[in-house]
Amino acid sequence: MYRRIFFYSLMLIVAIYSQTTLGQTVTNVNISESDDAPIISRHIYGHFAEHLGRCIYEGFYVGENSTIPNSAGVRLDIIEALKELQIPNLRWPGGCFADTYHWMDGIGDLEKRPTIVNTWWGGVTEDNSFGTHNFLNLCEELGAEPYLSGNVGSGGVQELADWVQYTNFKGKSPMSDLRRENGRDEPWTVKYWGIGNEAWGCGGNMRPEYYADIYKKYVTFMSDADIEGGLYKIASGASNDDYNWTEVLMKNIPKNMLEGVALHHYSVIDWDAKGPDVDFDEQTYFNTMKESWLMEELIVKHTAIMDKYDEKKEVDLIVDEWGGWYEVAEGTNPGFLYQQNTMRDAMIAGMNLNIFNNHADRVKMANLAQTVNVLQAVILTEEEKMILTPTYHVMNMYKVHQDATLIPLSFDSPKYTLKEESLPALTISASKDEGEKTHISFTNIDANKAHTVSLDLNSLNIKNISGTVLSSDSLQDHNTFENPDKIAPKDFKDFKFKKGKLEVNIPPFSVIVLEGYK
């Protein structure tokens, strides 16, 4: 009798232990490959460069006479860093700035270009030395698609139509002739065009019904003739949970005039009290993660509205502004939006990229705000110095998903709990590339606990696995110009892989990417 009791007790202990690792509950992740799974568009990994603070001037652009090594005035170290990221697209010139920018002010003889006051960002005077040619030539050098935001707020229909002709028309016309006079014979063939920016706010404080009519008017005069497949036109979309905006646009704009609808969402806890960029406490971190997690809900609800009017998913969701937004770094210009980039930003990046990947059926482009020296930047500069941020490293780790086929996953995430509130601790996404390599990315936002996951990979025919992790000792850790490599990816080996079964221990506030291959 006692032996039987002992035996059953032992079996119970083994069963409990089999579901735990050092006291941690094991989360089972189910894999369901599908023949009709979507491709994760490389354009999800896009970037954003606005005339804001030190993003363009003193960031990208230092001028041809600078002692900092440059190509046509653009820093060579930034070019090489962005090439390493394989950035697929770059959005320019804004942002709010776009609806005050007149593109013809930025072409032709430098000495004759008028100045402009950047009324949105710091009230600084710019000399228009960085313009259309500089930006489009930079995109060519990066191998990235340019994404131009047209001026609908203060610019006219003809102005935008002329910009399209200037950049794209191969034949003889007033605008193509002007382009050739300015030193560029062949057009750049710019495919991606935003029709205004944040039309509900800084782009004109419009009603959605009014903007829908404005949108149709502008795109009517934008020539598709010289672009294979036509221009890819993106409507200024909703802010956060303004679902009515999406409803009105989808209802009132014919699908043959619309390729994408934008969505903007920042991980900001309070627009009047955003919290510090470095010296934040765990409660502030938790609240930021809660705002970041809203991206999942926003995509689900906005796409549900899109599905009502577009069952075949012919119109894409374009998240062309996303990222963390805090109070500016101490001692910097409030209008320049310069902030440090900590492990908290790595969490935002990993979480959101997993969300975008998992919604690849609708989300076809996203643009992190912003590339250099502004908000959740991937690069920070200080005169001749340059550093790569934790966000840069996450995007570099995740680039393996670009244009790969999504592998759908399902699981019940363990919770990250603080006081009386809880959030899902884990986001995970997976894909298979053309070379039959499988990549699985994990982000654990839990500030205190590691979490263990288990996956059965037998259906994927994987024989070997290697991994990379981004982690640090403190959420507030960041790279500095004095210590630029404090946070950098490292080899990851804290997993077990046997007979097709994978078990991974994911440290607190860390990002991991595993590669599986034959």
Residue 106: which of 121, 120, 123, 94 has the closest Cα?
94
Rounded to the nearest angstrom, the gap between the alpha carbon of residue 74 and the centroid of all alpha carbons in its chain is: 22
360 exposed, middle or buried (CB, 10 Å; 0-12, 13-18, 19+)? buried
Helical residues (DSSP H) of 310-444, grouped into ranges = 343-358, 390-398
How many angstroms separate the Cα of 436 from the Cα of each of 21, 31, 188, 226, 417?
31, 16, 34, 36, 38
**Torsion of the alpha carbons at 445, 273, 121 and 289, rounded to the nearest 10:** 10
Tokens of 466: 């290697």
Can you list the alpha helix ranges (DSSP code H) found in 169-281?
174-181, 208-220, 243-252
- Which letter, b or e, does each residue of 477-496 get, where b requires 16 or more Cβ atoms within 10 Å of its Cβ? bbbeeeeeeebebeebeebe
Phi and psi at 372, nearest 5°, equal -130, 125
Q: Which residues are catalytic?
A: 198, 321
Token pair in block for residue 117: 């006051």
- 159 burial class (0-12, 13-18, 19+ CB within 10 angstroms)? middle
Rg (CA), the chain: 24
Strands 421-424 and 415-418: antiparallel
